[in-house]
Amino acid sequence: MENFTPFTALIGGSLIGLGALILFVFSGRIAGISGIAGAALFSREGRSWRLAFVAGIIAGPLLVGAVISDFSYSTPQLNWQVIVAGLLVGIGTGWGSGCTSGHGICGISRLSPRSITATVLFMFSGMLVATLLH
């Protein structure tokens, strides 16, 4: 939280919301990253737009980093904890019928009780684990 600036958070959140809105308006699809990525890997139907969506998520920070000189981001070191965390998130998105992007961004904006409940549980679980581990 040392480098938190509300302005950049507002811009980033607005762009995420705009992307979710565009996907919904033009294709009727919910921007749930786990569902999009999973179907891009394991389903032939609609694979091209899903791969383009995932490529955009990867290319976005790279493009911004090339344009803005003081932009920085990092990814965690790949170790057993990151692998286990990724597997647990994957299992959780299956159990919860979606991920934080699908429920937290798209579901809450539609006032879905299931999505509101899921997002509260995601946040509580994350805070609990962070508190216990740090």
Query: Domain for residue 81, yes or no?
Result: yes
pLDDT for 121-134, tens place per residue?
888 988 998 899 88
Query: Domain for residue 1, yes or no?
Result: no
Quote the number of domains for the chain.
Answer: 1
Predicted local confidence at residue 131, as pLDDT: 92
Banded pLDDT at 1 (limits 50, 70, 90): low
pLDDT for 78-118, tens place per residue?
888 888 888 888 888 878 787 877 888 888 888 989 889 98
Q: 7 Cβ partners below 8 Å, 6+ apart?
A: none
What's this model's pTM, rounded to 2 decimal places?
0.70
Query: Domain for residue 120, yes or no?
Result: yes
d(CA 55, CA 71): 20
Nearest partner of 18 among 106, 95, 78, 86, judged by Cα: 106
Q: Are 32 and 98 in contact (CB under 8 A)?
A: yes
Give the structural domain span for 66: 6-133
Average pLDDT, the chain: 85
Cβ atoms < 10 Å from Cβ of 32: 24
Query: Domain for residue 55, yes or no?
Result: yes
Query: Domain for residue 39, yes or no?
Result: yes
